[in-house]
C-alpha cells in the first residue's frame, strides 16, 4: 500500500530563514509526486509535479526535489505570506488516486 | 478557466439528519474525486469516478454514504444519516483521465454535525 510521511509536522521560521520540508514515500512504481499548498479554510492549491528521481521544479521561493525515497520542498528566504500547510501526495502504478501525507504546517514570523 | 466549484461552503446539521454536497469539476476533466479531510490531517480518498463510473469506492462507508455522477460531469455526495464523527471538510477534485497529471481541488464543504 502506498504511504507518505511528512516531517516535521510543524515548523516555525523567521522571515528570511531558509529551510526544507521532507516527504518520505513508499509506492509501487511512482507515477508522480505532487506538492500542494493549503491555506486555512481553503482547498489544496497545486504547486509542483515531479516524475523521476533527480528532477527539480522551482516557483518563486520554492524548489522541489525528488529522490527514489523522498522529496524535499526547499524554501529560500521565506516571507510571512508563505505561511500555510504544505501537503505531499503520490500516485502509484495501477492507481489513479493521490495518497497524501499529513502535511507540514509552516509559519513564517515577520 | 473556472476551477472546481463546490457547494455549500459550510453546513451545520443535527445528527441523524441527511446532508448532500455538490461538485462541478473543471470542464473536460473526466476523473472526479471526493476526499475527506479531518483537522490537521491530509485528505483521504472516499471515491473516484472515471466519467460516470465509480472505479474506486473501497473507502466509502456504504452504509450511510452514497455518491453519484450523472452524465459524467457534476457529482453529489450524500450522507444519511449523519453522525457526529462525520464532521470534517469534504473536498472535491478533478483531473484529466489517463495522465499522470495533478488534481485540482475545490474550496471544500465544512460539515459540522451537532
- Residue A28 is predicted with a pLDDT of 86
What's the whole-number mean pLDDT along residues B69-90? 95
Per-residue pLDDT at B64? 97
Q: Which residues of B are less than 8 Å from A102 in CB distance?
A: 40-42
- CA distances, B64 to each of A59, A67, B18, B84 (Å): 42, 41, 9, 13
Alpha carbon distances (Å) from B17 to B5, B11, B67, B76, B112:
24, 12, 17, 17, 12
User: Considering chain B, what is the average pLDDT of its residues?
Assistant: 94
Contact state of A43 with B110 under an 8 Å Cβ cutoff: no
pLDDT > 80? residue A94: no
Q: Dig out the grid coordinates for A38 from the structure.
A: 493549503
Confidence of residue B71 (pLDDT cuts 50, 70, 90): confident
CB-CB under 8 Å, A44 with B91:
yes
| Other C-beta atoms lying within 10 Å of the C-beta of residue A8 | 12
The residue among B1 and B113 whose pLDDT is bigger is B113
C-beta atoms of B105 and A43 within 8 A = yes
Residues of A in contact with B93 (CB under 8 A): 43, 98
Considering only CB atoms, which chain B residues are within 8 Å of A5? none
Residue B98: is its pLDDT beyond 70?
Answer: no
* Contact present, B49 and B73 (Cβ < 8 Å): no
Whole-number Cα distances in Å, A45 to A27, B5, B79, B107: 23, 14, 26, 9
pLDDT confidence of residue B80: 97
Comparing CA positions, the residue from A87, A52, A100 lying closest to residue B33 is A100
| CA distances in angstroms from B102 to A29, A34, B10, B46, B84, listed in the order given | 17, 7, 26, 18, 32
pLDDT at residue A93, as a whole number: 83
Cβ atoms of A85 and A106 within 8 Å: the answer is yes
B55 contacts chain A (CB < 8 A):
yes
- Asked if B108 and A91 come within 8 Å (Cβ–Cβ), the reply is no
**Cβ–Cβ of B33/A43 closer than 8 Å?**
no
Confidence band for B96, pLDDT divided at 50, 70 and 90 = confident
In chain B, what percentage of residues exceed pLDDT 70? 96
Q: Is the dihedral of CA A75, A81, A83, A85 positive or negative?
A: negative
Q: In what order do the strands lie in the sheet with B75-79?
A: B5-7, B19-24, B75-79, B65-68
Amino acid at each position: 500500500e502506498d504511504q507518505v510521511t511528512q516531517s516535521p509536522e510543524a515548523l516555525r521560521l523567521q522571515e528570511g530563514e531558509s529551510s526544507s520540508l521532507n516527504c518520505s514515500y513508499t509506492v509501487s512504481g511512482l507515477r508522480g509526486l505532487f506538492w500542494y499548498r493549503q491555506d486555512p479554510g481553503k482547498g489544496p492549491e497545486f504547486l509542483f509535479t515531479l516524475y523521476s528521481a533527480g528532477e527539480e521544479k522551482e516557483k518563486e521561493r520554492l524548489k522541489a526535489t525528488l529522490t527514489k525515497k523522498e522529496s524535499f520542498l526547499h524554501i529560500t528566504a521565506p516571507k510571512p505570506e508563505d505561511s500555510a500547510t504544505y501537503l505531499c501526495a503520490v500516485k502509484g502504478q495501477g492507481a489513479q488516486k493521490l495518497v497524501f501525507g499529513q502535511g507540514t504546517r509552516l509559519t513564517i514570523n515577520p | 478557466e473556472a476551477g472546481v466549484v463546490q457547494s455549500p461552503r459550510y453546513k451545520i446539521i443535527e445528527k441523524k439528519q441527511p446532508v448532500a454536497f455538490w461538485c462541478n469539476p473543471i470542464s473536460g476533466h473526466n476523473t472526479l474525486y471526493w476526499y475527506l479531510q479531518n483537522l490537521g490531517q491530509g485528505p483521504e480518498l472516499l471515491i473516484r469516478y472515471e466519467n460516470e463510473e465509480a472505479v474506486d469506492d473501497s473507502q466509502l462507508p456504504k452504509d450511510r454514504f452514497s455518491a453519484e455522477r450523472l452524465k459524467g460531469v457534476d457529482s453529489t455526495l450524500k450522507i444519511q444519516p449523519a453522525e457526529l464523527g462525520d464532521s470534517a471538510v469534504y473536498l472535491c477534485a478533478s483531473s484529466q483521465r489517463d495522465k499522470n497529471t495533478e488534481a485540482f481541488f475545490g474550496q471544500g464543504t465544512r460539515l459540522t454535525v451537532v
